[in-house]
Structure 1
Amino acid sequence: MSAASPARDADPAAGSPVPGEVIDPDYPVTPVPTHARKGFFSLMVVLLGFTVFTPTMLAGASLGKAFGLRDLLVVIALGSLVLGAYVAVLGWIGARTGLTTVVMARYTLGTRGSKLASILLGGTQIGWYGVVIGTIGDLTAQAFGWEGFAARAGVMVVVSALMCATAVYGYRGMYWVSLISTPLILILAFWVMFRSLEEVGGWAGLAAVHPDATMTTAVAVTAVVGTFVSAGTQAPNWTRFGRTGRQAVLACVVGFLIGNGLMIFFGAIGAITFGEGDFVLVLFQLGLVGWGLFLLFGNLWKSNADAAYSFGVAGAELFERPSKTRFVIIGSVIGTALALLGVNEHLPQYLGLLGTFIPPLGGIIIGDYLARWRRTQMPEGEALPKVNWVLLGVYAGSCALAWLAGEFGIGIPPVIGIVAALVLSVACARLSPRRGA
């Protein structure tokens, strides 16, 4: 029985419905059925809306100050290729199985071991949700010259409610928000890019700019990969709606290789020409406050709705409930509270550290799927072990390697973690229990 078909005797640990509880049309803990699958265009719109994310420009800003145009393009291409390949494979598995990342973790780490994945992925997304809410409040206050806390807090609460409602509405809500806002945001971003080029005398002038900072290629590629490798690990949350694995792969390539790469490039150009990587602040500098706020709200609304959706499905898996709604609301309240308390200003470095421990999770899911589940597609209702200690050990060891690589400046830490997890999970496949006792 394939993962996309209904189970006849579903395991309660797999999130069977509780009597009287409404079934979520987004299927957060069960495979997406055939009738609910989407086409390539729909997947592409949602994933582009996920990755066209203005804070990514800040990573591009650091690269723009350290590389000339030719080397900059090479670094962005290499990093985006690595990121796109990793996410595309995960996206392919998501479409083949119809499952979210955290539910796939049940087959890899066991029904209890997967709770680690839900806490890690859901918790980091709540944190980033709070960071974005706080950023919106601060930039809006900066645009209007507000000094008091009340107006800033009001903006945070209102925009959080909009993002929460979009996530509760599910895949359809994120599709329509992305379909409307992403093209407009990209048009505005390209306009700012051409306006920036005018400042330096076109492409020839940009190529003639000499960098005033230094950065190794390995560090630069790590920065590109790191922009979305943690969030990209949750790409199956959306690609599971794809009708075919091929469509999911192409959508991931468009979103993570092209979309994310463009945002990094935009940030680099902004830093070179205006000394500011974030196009929102560039528009403020140009006196276009209204357009800056449009770019801010339109962009972060859809991206943060994706974050809310992710911690919603993680909560559904963690507490084994068939609906994500209550967890989207609870997580949004927690994230907004963090922003109101000002904790968001101190979270990014901590959340970045946690990013070291997320990519290896994707690596073991890929490796374990290829070694043990490719033929059966993670069948629903499978009697799974509570904890797969073998792969839990592989995960811990891969995280340690990624962390040590970062501490000693060796290679690209996220990639090291992914590759180590993938190779070791394949090597240890025969030691992993397929079924529970």
Structure 2
Amino acid sequence: MSKMEDILNDNALHTVPDAQTVSGWRIAVIIIGVAIGLPMMLTGAKLAYEMSGLSAFGAFFVGGLMLAILGGFTGIVGARQKLSTYVIIQQTFGTSGAVIINMLLAFTIFAWFSITAAVFGSALAGALGEIIQLKVSGVLLTFIGVVLMVLTSIFGFKALDKLSLAAVPVLMVFLGYLAVAGLRADNAPISTDFDIVTIGFGEGVSMVVGSFIVGIVIFPDFCRYARNQSDGIIAALVSMGIGMPVVLTLSAIPSLMVGETDIIKLLFALGAGAPILFLLVFATWTTNASNLYSGSLALAATFSSVKKWKLTILGGGVGLVLAISGIANKLTDFLLLLGVMIPPIASIYIIDHLVFKRNTSKYQSDFVQKKLNIQALISWGLGSLFAFMTSAEVLIFTSFPSLDSIVVSSLCFYVFTRITLYRQAALA
């Protein structure tokens, strides 16, 4: 295999060599780059406006801490195994069972990719028209944006690493600038309590966790490049425990000051010309390039005979069609519904790897022999069903549907696997 082929393959189906690993701080920068996107900024602005003053900031850091804890576990799995999320899922659910899980994840990731690309195109078109009176088709801008994202993702982790190292520091500076501009706005101070509070603290924390829960599940895609499991933990703590709450806070301050939740209108209200264009382009670029990267890894695990770079181009093309057709916008509610089905995936492979402590060599043996792990699939189904019921308020458990699905699926998988192992030992 040539050097170029090796780069394009990006260790999609194999362990990452030690020579290619990086520090947890480098991985954290990539994840922060994913967080600095329009969806996360919108979440910060919405929660700040619809929660009572400082309680929104509390929700950001509590939610970030919960994400950091969960991400620490998935980061350890990725750092230990040095494999993508989707190969790890194959090892836990079996090759046949993993097809269902990996295709669900691929669909979810590519759908969010298309939604973000569509929002990017229309928002950038509006910004160019407002700031420099340049009329450009939103469809054309969406196309250009997707091409940039494909060209980055096609070179895998190394390209994402370089893009994030260049863009994230500047993006953070611009977010800080907007926060300062918001503080200088002639409006009410941050500590003011709003008369009408439509989102409670618990719901706010749940929204923060839900906004990045898919990122927790696919965290091994990035942490497989960690030097060791400590770097996986560092990546989670720095990116989700610190970076993400800071991004949400900086996005929230202008919303509180100006009284606007639409992030684009908010930026215009602050008179931020160049920062608007920079944020739109680079924030979407870093976020969506990472989405395409993980989505193509999911497809590579399922369609192992097709080269990863071809699947990246295919995924980008499908995302582009969904974005410019307008179908993507109709998928949002459905994707939010699917949100309760995603967290159990992580909890099951965490228990499988960290509790039952199977090493890599045994995994390779199991991977060849096992086609379907019925215990894993049933546990996933029960956790998802329970979360659907708590989200519909048929049942009440932790008040966080995502956490409900994690707890129930973890307990089910642990019990089912222990029973199976006990029976196998009794028959031996």
Q: TM-score, normalised by structure 1?
A: 0.88
- CA-CA distance at 1:218 after TM superposition: 2.1
Alignment counterpart, residue 196 of structure 1, candidates 182, 198, 206: 182
Gaps spanning 5+ residues in structure 1: where?
Answer: 1-16
Q: Is 1:394 matched up with 2:379?
A: yes
Query: Residue in 1 aligned with 2:59?
Result: 75
d(CA) in 2 for partners of 1:48, 1:290: 21
Is residue 301 of structure 1 aligned with residue 285 of structure 2? yes
Structure 1 residue identity aligned to 2:315: G
Of 371-380 and 237-246, the range deviating more from structure 2: 371-380
Is residue 413 from structure 1 mapped to residue 397 from structure 2 by the alignment? no
CA separation in 1, counterparts of 2:305 and 2:88? 16
Following TM superposition, by how much is the alpha carbon of 1:278 offset from its aligned partner in structure 2, in angstroms?
A: 5.5
- Give per-residue Cα distances to partners, 1:184-226, cap 9 Å, x unaligned: 1100101111111122579xx2113435323222211111111
- Shift of residue 374, structure 1, vs aligned partner: 4.5
1:55-101 CA-partner distances (Å, limit 9, x unpaired): 21222223212333432232222211111111111011100111111
**Separation in 2, partners of 1:384, 1:257:** 39
Q: 1:206 aligns with which of 190, 210, 218?
A: 190
Q: CA deviation at 1:381?
A: 4.8
CA contact (8 A) 2:25 2:238 kept: no
1:182 and 2:129 aligned = no
Q: Note if contact 2:348-2:376 (Cα within 8 Å) is conserved in structure 1.
A: yes
Q: Which amino acid aligns with 1:174?
A: L
Q: Does 1:127 align with 2:111?
A: yes
CA distance in structure 1 between the aligned counterparts of 2:419 and 2:294, rounded to whole angstroms? 31
Contact 2:157 2:222 in 1 (8 A): yes
Q: Contact 1:105 / 1:365 at 8 angstroms: preserved in 2? A: yes
CA distance in 1, matches of 2:222, 2:317: 23
Task: Measure the CA separation in 2 of the matches of 1:423 and 1:35.
Answer: 38
Could you tell me which residue of structure 2 aligns to residue 172 of structure 1? 158
Note if contact 1:111-1:384 (Cα within 8 Å) is conserved in structure 2. no
Alignment of structure 1 residues 34-433 onto 2, 5 Å: 34-145=18-129, 151-199=137-185, 205-277=189-261, 279-321=263-305, 323-376=307-360, 379-382=363-366, 383-408=368-393, 410=396, 411-431=399-419
Task: Tell me the CA shift for residue 376 of structure 1.
Answer: 4.7
- Once residues 72 and 348 of structure 2 are traced to their aligned partners in structure 1, the CA distance between those partners, rounded to angstroms, is 15
Per-residue CA shift, 1:375-397, capped at 9, x if unaligned? 55763354331111111101100
Q: 1:65, 1:374 → 2: CA distance?
A: 47
Report the AA paired with residue 414 of structure 2.
V
Return the alpha-carbon distance in structure 1 between the equivalents of residues 230 and 336 of structure 2. 31
Q: 1:327 to 1:392 in 2, by over 3 A?
A: same
What RMSD, in angstroms, separates the aligned Cα atoms of the two structures? 2.5
Return the alpha-carbon distance in structure 2 between the equivalents of residues 406 and 377 of structure 1. 40
Preserved contact between residue 60 and residue 264 of structure 1 (Cα < 8 Å): yes
Partner amino acid, structure 1, of 2:326: G
Greater share of residues in helix: 2
What is the one-letter code of the residue matched to 1:402? A
User: How many angstroms apart in 2 are the aligned matches of 1:271 and 1:395?
Assistant: 38
Distance 1:331 1:303 in 2: 15
- For residues 369 and 211 of structure 1, what CA distance do their matches in structure 2 show? 48
- After superposition, what is the alpha-carbon deviation per residue over 1:119-165, rounded to whole angstroms, capped at 9, x for unaligned? 01111111011111111111122123399997221111111011001
Match of 1:8 in 2: none
Give the gaps of 5 or more residues in structure 2.
none
CA apart distance, 1:251: 0.9
Check whether the contact 2:160–2:286 (CA below 8 A) recurs between aligned residues: yes
Percent sequence identity is 25
- The residue type paired with residue 385 of structure 1 is K
Q: CA deviation at 1:115?
A: 0.8
Q: Structure 1: which amino acid aligns with 2:372?
A: V
TM-score for both structures, normalised by structure 2? 0.90
Letter of the 1:219 counterpart: E
Cα pair 1:64 1:211 within 8 Å, conserved:
no
Decide which moves more: 246-255 or 45-54.
Answer: 45-54
- Tell me which moved more, 48-57 or 146-155: 146-155
